[in-house]
Structure 1
Amino acid sequence: MNLKQRSLAPLLFIAVVVIACAPLLLWMRSSPPLALKVFDREVYNLEISYQMAALFLAVIVIGMVYGLSGKKGLAYLSLKRRDGQIRPEPWIGIKPKETESWKNLGVNFAIVITLVTAVVIYFQVVHGGGVSLELFPGVLLIVGFALTNAFTEEVIFRYSFVAVVGKYGFSPYAAQGLAAATFGLVHYFGNPGGIPGVLMAAFIGWFLAKSMLETKGFFWALLIHFLQDVVIFSALFMK
């Protein structure tokens, strides 16, 4: 085996791990291995059961990534690294000025992506139905589940690829492409779902991987995903 083949092995390995995690998460969503009975509403019990199992899976993935990339890979989990130079992407309108950095781009896309998610979720989940939401514990659970779900999915579908690509010097587009493909396909069965869900999730997977690569941190990916999940869980718990 030559050097090029050896260096490609970690990326192939983590790709197989993430691809295996996708159906496993779908299975845990429909049949949580933990059967917690904490709340009066069954929808809350099902969600907390899933979130605890998925969080455990994310920890396992972090361990695997650490084995492949060491401390350099763990550094991408930093929440302190919030700024960095933006790589231009003219095909989607990312043409940064000299004074612009990720502090600007992160805020702008957090607002835009959250608004787009709200519109899609409204027409897929909320539109035409009666809605109500418990202030307690509903709102607290929305925030908690949004945070754990965002962390879990960012670790599995973004951080895994970014850390390995960063360690072994692959093109950043390798991480962004793999993040887009895996996150997009798994959302065919999620919320938002179907083809619109696939396209939206693929773009978000691509963009959030870009944020990690260029800031060398976890902040914008976690925040943007968290805001999306607040919208999604709010809609789901209103039904």
Structure 2
Amino acid sequence: MNKKRSALIPILLITFVVVACAPLLLWFRDSPLLLLKVFKSDVYNLEFSYQITVLLLAVIVIGIVYGLAGKGGLRYLNLKKRDGKIRPEPWIGIKPKETETWKHLGLNFAIIITLVTAVVIYFQVVHGETVRLELYPGVILILMFALMNAFSEEIIFRFSFVAVVGKYGLSPYVAQGLAAAIFGAVHYFGHPGGIAGVIMAAFIGWFLAKSMLETKGFFWALTIHFLQDVLIFSALFMK
């Protein structure tokens, strides 16, 4: 009982931090702390300012996690660990064969999630709009913003819970459930948005937290999130 009580305080603290971050991200979207003017386009400048602001917030979250989980919590930031045993989840069709590991599951779900995101983004953002492709600096900025956004959001909404849960030996479903609930709620106002956005983001939050817990690494979470954000920024910037 004492062990459970000692674990309750850190998980409540990190949940409070992440919940506090959620409305901050929505506020920073229109009013970033650092308003930088690097590009000719106001759209690019606002996005760059937002991403830098959120990156600073992510660094603060890493510091808080370090305070709660120590060096052991930081192991989940390892990009080299991309394999591990899959915990079966029959209710969504994850029934791994004996030879199947995260190298297979990560790749398969990266493709599936990216295709589903592409369809939803097309109908929510692109459909009926005139689009154009700006190779420079558009494509370069799309890749840069996608990487920055994926990293920051994975730190805030996934790594935070995974590191604390891993440190204190709580059920992995605590991290996955919290990651799904908060990430899903935030995306009601994002892209993709609405109910469809909430459902998609909640599943992605749940799945990417699972990937971190079972691989003890950051690779699949960052990669899959990056692919989604490339599609989203492409749709937004090509309008």
Q: Aligning the two structures, in what range does the TM-score lie when normalised by the shorter sequence?
A: over 0.9
* Match in the other structure for 1:165: 165
Q: For the residues of structure 2 that align with 1:4 and 1:93, how far apart are their CA atoms?
A: 31
The answer to which of 31-40 and 80-89 deviates more is 31-40
Shift of 1:33: 1.5
Q: For the residues of structure 2 that align with 1:212 and 1:4, how far apart are their CA atoms?
A: 22
Shift of 1:179: 0.1
* Match in the other structure for 1:219: 219
Residue deviations 1:67-98, cap 9 Å, x none? 11111100000001000000000011000000
- Matched to 2:144, the amino acid is G
Shift of 1:30: 1.5
Shift of 1:137: 0.4
* Match in the other structure for 1:112: 112
* Match in the other structure for 1:156: 156
Q: For the residues of structure 2 that align with 1:132 and 1:42, how far apart are their CA atoms?
A: 18
Q: Percent of pairs identical after alignment?
A: 78
Q: For the residues of structure 1 that align with 2:86 and 2:30, how far apart are their CA atoms?
A: 39
- Is the contact between residue 7 and residue 170 of structure 2 (CA under 8 Å) also seen in structure 1? no
Residue deviations 1:14-58, cap 9 Å, x none? 000000000001100021111111111111011000000000000
| Structure 2 SS opposite 1:128 | coil
Residue deviations 1:143-163, cap 9 Å, x none? 000000000000000000000
| Structure 2 SS opposite 1:225 | helix
Q: For the residues of structure 1 that align with 2:217 and 2:167, how far apart are their CA atoms?
A: 14
Shift of 1:133: 2.1
Q: For the residues of structure 2 that align with 1:5 and 1:24, how far apart are their CA atoms?
A: 29
Q: Extract unaligned runs of 5+ from structure 1.
A: none
Matched, 1:25 2:8: no
* Match in the other structure for 2:8: 8
Q: Extract unaligned runs of 5+ from structure 2.
A: none
* Match in the other structure for 1:85: 85
Q: For the residues of structure 1 that align with 2:146 and 2:2, how far apart are their CA atoms?
A: 44
Residue deviations 1:181-201, cap 9 Å, x none? 000000000000000000000
Q: For the residues of structure 1 that align with 2:3 and 2:202, how far apart are their CA atoms?
A: 32
Shift of 1:3: 4.3
Q: How many residues in Structure 1 have an aligned counterpart in Structure 2?
A: 239
Q: For the residues of structure 2 that align with 1:146 and 1:62, how far apart are their CA atoms?
A: 20
* Match in the other structure for 1:98: 98
| Residue pairs, 1:114-153, within 5 angstroms | 114-153=114-153
Q: For the residues of structure 2 that align with 1:29 and 1:201, how far apart are their CA atoms?
A: 18
Shift of 1:223: 0.1
| Structure 1 SS opposite 2:39 | coil
